[in-house]
Chain A
């Protein structure tokens, strides 16, 4: 289950993409998501796809692995495509199957929307594949920094995020451990009626909650014992720095935007 979904998983292949400042990555991806919606010609989609696929290749994460990991999302992409195909009724009839007319416009629309979908998911999953959760939360804390002026608890929010992210794998392991222990005691999580399966979750959830609360309490105690104090005046072990690499990314992205608007029809 967990092995097929790669969104949120970090792969340490140490590429140029990995070495970029996480703030740059987040900002660029944000703008990329915006400009994807400006594309309206084959060429402009081509330019966008080139950027996305190029980044994926540069990340040195095996491309086939990314594709395999996007499997659950493929369903959504194909579904959107088919929906457009059958619902749009503009333009000429391209062809018909089983007595249902498929219109040219539907084909184009469906293709465009699916491609957008694919590009968005590819680029955003590239962020988590090449950036550690800690880097991401650090970057978010920095990017939200200005909000501190209006008393928004940016540091606390970032801390909450990093703690949650930190404990996801721990809780996953715990879930696996407990489900194995209960399976050994004859619980069957996979077969049976829906009611049986819901019932089978109780012996899993109760111990999981108990241990999560215990962990939370221990963590709070450990932080307090070491005199943790958030927010103002707290320094970082690893400071984020914009390097030449980031500057070249900005230049590249600016070129992408120009190319996109030149190829728009």
Chain B
């Protein structure tokens, strides 16, 4: 689903002493099928932004196009239900939304609300559980008996079972251990390609943004600060530091290699160790000629 924002602003509690402008004149577009990372410092408006993607919040100014749906400021929007079926949102700590008696029922909750037939729900539940690598015998257990990591997978399965075309992820790996983080991110990445989803990832991890996204939006004080491909963005170290963002270690390594040795290494997703070897080879190779 193609997504575009046209001069979107959002103000919390307008006309009160607590008035706060969280989004200010945001204009950008997200191509259908792309993996976009939204990064920014705490309080930069990322969460407000993603709540506009399925109509939880409606802009106080401007217009949003999501596929054939349009959400416009000051206009009552009728098709929110269909929109929400198409845009699945995995919120921060999604395990907090579990409530059913069994895992299977909780996963089926979303599709049931959207009137999906029973056999289809069962098929989707199985598929979702498989995608999140949950053992199928957990389906009849209570979600509150599971470990934190498993609960998170159940909650994610519940969103996947809605079979959305757009997947919005709000720091889906917060609070997981490093191996769990990688597993969850790899899972989203695989799903993104298999199902041709449009994925929007809100993250604090520059490493994840670099590894998974093909486009990055940087937000600062409710405004779009920069947008571009990961390599473009992370080459601009000074600009990132201005908004308190770091450069991923790998990119920092590349920049340093270029500065110290004048060697321009091409980045194709290598690890630091691999890049170090490449660099060593080039440095040695260079000195051989002299």
Contacts and interface: CB of A to CB of B under 8 A. Distances in A.
B213 interface: no
Nearest to B88: A184
Contacts of A198: none
Contacts of A186: 81, 84-85, 110, 112-114, 162
Interface string B77-113: 0000100110111010010111100000000011011
Contacts of A178: 96-97
Contacts, number: 65
A211 B93 CA distance: 12
Interface stretch (A33-41, A80-88, A199-207): A199-207
Interface in B53-87: 54, 56, 81, 84-85, 87
Contact of B97 (A11, A62, A181, A202): A181
Contacts of A188: 81, 113
Contacts of B110: 185-186
Contacts of A174: 96
Q: Which of A180, A181, A184, A203 has most chain B Cβ within 10 Å?
A: A184
A61 B84 CA distance: 40
Interface residues of B, number: 28
A203 B109 CA distance: 9
A186 B114 CA distance: 6
B96 A180 contact: no
A175 to B, nearest CB: 11
Nearest to A186: B113
Contacts of A184: 54, 56, 84, 87-89, 91, 159
A84 B259 CA distance: 86
Which 9 A-B pairs rank lowest in CB-CB distance, beginning with the nearest? A186-B113, A206-B99, A185-B110, A181-B97, A184-B89, A186-B114, A203-B99, A181-B91, A3-B13
Given A65-B17, A185-B113, A207-B98, 14 more contacts: A3-B16, A62-B17, A174-B96, A178-B97, A180-B51, A181-B91, A184-B84, A184-B87, A184-B91, A185-B158, A185-B162, A186-B162, A203-B109, A206-B99
Interface of A: 3, 11, 13, 61-62, 65, 174, 177-178, 180-188, 202-203, 206-207, 210-211
